[in-house]
Amino acid sequence: MLEVKHLVVNYGGIQAVKDVSFSVQTGEIVALIGANGAGKSTILKTISGLLRPRSGIIDYEGQKINGMAAAKIVKQGISQVPEGRHIFAGLTVAENLQMGAFGLKDKQAAGEQITMVYDRFPVLKERQHQDAATLSGGEQQMLAMGRALMAKPKLLLLDEPSMGLAPIFIQEIFDIITKINAQGTTVLLIEQNARQALAIADRGYVLASGTVKLTGTGEELLADPAVQATYLGMQVP
């Protein structure tokens, strides 16, 4: 579904992504893990069209999309849930969700999507008339995910979905990601919580200093001594 080849991206005056290649197959959950500054968020922003690469190719379903406008990329079937959620304060939950459906051609399709989102996130239906800014952090994350799903994506990009959440919400968010994937949406996930991300991932890539250092299945990376010592906080003899 997605193939990134030799991606180089400058961000904030530095070369944040140096030479990254990876792929995502249809139906997979793929996790990108790494320390802060490894280039993870920059990669997602570049796939989404929010940043332009210096060089390299982003191929989505056989079509080169680097350089394509962000709004057109959404219409091609890629939605991103940004780091920090970025819900629209001052708008209700329902209005936030409607903002996610801007690319749908008719009101009926938008109505079907909002029904689907309310089925998946019952708390959002309960609070649909509430100002989104008054939701808890976990509820705002659900809203950000629901807003992205309003566009009917084939590929969902998730940027640090557990960041800043209470432990009770973290497990719920990862359960939701697994269910979204099981219902047919391919997922590319970046996450500081490497243990949780790799536990649900089909495959993973470990990034450091803007390059891919390791790759393998989620199980293989969880068992890798270097990953355990660096990202999982485990003492390795």
Task: Dump pLDDT digits (tens) for 57-97.
Answer: 999 999 999 989 999 999 999 999 988 878 899 999 999 99
Percentage of the chain surpassing pLDDT 90?
Answer: 62
Assigned superfamily of 2-85+152-231? P-loop containing nucleotide triphosphate hydrolases (3.40.50.300)
Work out the average pLDDT over 135-152.
91
Question: Is the pLDDT score of 14 beyond 80?
Answer: yes
Question: Is the pLDDT score of 234 beyond 70?
Answer: no
Give pLDDT, residue 233. Answer: 59
Question: Is the pLDDT score of 137 beyond 70?
Answer: yes
Q: How far is CA 99 from CA 5, 71, 77, 113, 143, in A?
A: 32, 12, 16, 12, 11
Own/partner pairs for 183-186, CB < 8 Å, 24+ apart?
Answer: 184/27, 185/149, 185/153, 185/154, 185/155, 185/156, 186/1, 186/2, 186/24, 186/25, 186/26, 186/27, 186/28, 186/29, 186/154, 186/155, 186/156
| Alpha-carbon dihedral angle through residues 165, 170, 175, 181, given to the nearest 10 degrees | 60
Give pLDDT, residue 164. Answer: 82
| Domains of the chain, residue spans | 2-85+152-231
Work out the average pLDDT over 102-122.
83
Question: Is the pLDDT score of 46 beyond 60?
Answer: yes
Q: Which residue has the higher pLDDT, 166 or 154?
A: 154
Work out the average pLDDT over 123-146.
92
Percentage of the chain surpassing pLDDT 70?
Answer: 98
Q: How far apart are CA 2 and CA 22, in angstroms?
A: 8
The pTM assigned to this predicted structure is 0.90
For residue 15, the one-letter residue type is Q
Question: Is the pLDDT score of 235 beyond 70?
Answer: no
Tell me the β-bridge partners of 20: 7
